[in-house]
Amino acid sequence: MILLVLFIALVFFGSIAVKRYSEGASPNPRGVDGDPSAIVALADGSTMAVPRGTVGRALVDWLAGRQPGQKTFELGGQEFVGGTAELTPESRGRITRLVAMLRANPDVKVVIVGHAAPSGNEAADRAMSQARADVVLEQLRDGRIASHRLSTEARAASDPIVPNDSPGNRQRNQRVSLILSRAE
């Protein structure tokens, strides 16, 4: 009698486990927030989750187009800690994804453009913008992106994306932009 009860319990719990496993093993891959279109294949066959409407997706789409020419991308978000050249954890994650994209597209060159909010001292602003570009350059080199594909430019406070009229806007202008190019 005890063996019969154990057998029935084993069959019951086994069938529940099989049902749960089969429900979780969906043949359709799901991306970010269940969006399968967020999963993209890179040129080297690797995949990455990059939701539509993000800078990363625009970058992936441009790379996938394989068209010659150049395109400028703003990394977006708070890239640096305060008025420094120290990357935020969020930026480090973006750069890791950028490395994967660039490694999958070895024909693409990158100009890393550093920016600063105006401090009233043009030389200091230029030095800060160069330091920011250099930090990103080193991260890309550490990710094994060939040095001949990379260059930097310091624009100081000459190219703001928003007016420098609030602390939040000043923070947005303390950034790095990327100019990606592919030869014909």
CA distance 136 to 175: 11
**Average pLDDT in the 52-67 region?**
91
Cβ-Cβ contacts under 8 Å for 103 (sequence gap 6 or more): 44, 143, 144, 145
pLDDT at position 17, please? Answer: 45
Summarize pLDDT for 21-43 with one digit per residue, the tens: 444 433 334 444 556 678 888 88
Distance of CA 142 to the CA centre of its chain: 16
pLDDT at position 19, please? Answer: 44
* 182: pLDDT strictly greater than 70: yes
pLDDT at position 170, please? Answer: 87
pLDDT at position 12, please? Answer: 53
Summarize pLDDT for 74-130 with one digit per residue, the tens: 877 788 888 899 999 989 989 999 999 999 999 999 999 999 999 999 999 999 999
With a pLDDT cut of 70, the percent of the chain lying above it is 80
Cβ-Cβ contacts under 8 Å for 150 (sequence gap 6 or more): 109, 110, 112, 137, 140, 141
